[in-house]
Amino acid sequence: MSAALTTRKLARSATRRAVTRTFLLRNDIVRDDFVRNDKGATAVEFALVAAPFLALLVALFQTAMVFFAGRMLDEITEEASRYVMTGQAQTSNMTASQFATYVCTGDPVLTKLVSALFTCSSLLISAQSYSSFAAANTNDPIAGFNASNQPVNSNGNVITMPWAPGNPGDIVVLQIMYQWPVVGGPLGFSLSSPNSNGYRLLMSTAIFRNEPY
């Protein structure tokens, strides 16, 4: 009896060891499969980089458009300045609004440049005359915009763009400004300036001496 009992105990022990080895082997296989399984890795990786990637795309696109629009505004200002420099605006007794109309519709080249990117009614034009280049002031005449999107000075008062195209031989500072619409992007990116009104103020300046017309 003692020998039979011992045999049964040994058999049960061997069976338990076999079951344990099978269980551990299966666990090793499952663990290895889990480690090797890379399903969904791409989605997880994209989720981690999506926000900065989109922020970069928005920043690149908006910055490129702002620079391009600014360059176009430079071309418009250069073309428009010739009408003042040659005295055509002065001899025609043009007002600021009439000059703005000329910039938008009075010249084939200017009309094409303005209509390509800008809204004519949103152009802001300033002309100031001086006796010398040293006295010329090229500072931005606009400190910001109020809730009605009107230009204001540093005191918050609504201002009117100056219009003084000068006489023969005068130094003239012609500035054309435009509020370019921008949108905010991920991670707080924004090109809005001078205040956070959803626009960026573009300004182009031409300084010249009037011809002796």
Residue 16 within a domain = no
The tens digit of pLDDT for each residue in 114-161 reads 998 999 989 999 999 999 999 999 988 888 888 888 899 888 899 999
* pLDDT range class, residue 16, cuts 50, 70, 90: low
Residue 24 within a domain = no
* pLDDT range class, residue 90, cuts 50, 70, 90: very high
Neighbours of 128 (CB within 10 A): 20
Cis peptide before 194 (omega within 30 of 0): yes
Number of domains, the chain: 1
The tens digit of pLDDT for each residue in 44-67 reads 677 777 778 887 888 888 889 999
- Asked if the model's pLDDT at residue 30 lies above 60, the reply is no
Q: Are 87 and 168 in contact (CB under 8 A)?
A: yes
Q: What is the pTM of this model?
A: 0.74
Q: For the chain, what is the largest distance between any 2 Cα atoms, rounded to a whole number of angstroms?
A: 135
Q: Which domain holds residue 164?
A: 60-209
Q: Which residues contact 142 (CB under 8 A, 6 or more apart)?
A: 124, 151, 152, 153, 159, 177, 194, 201
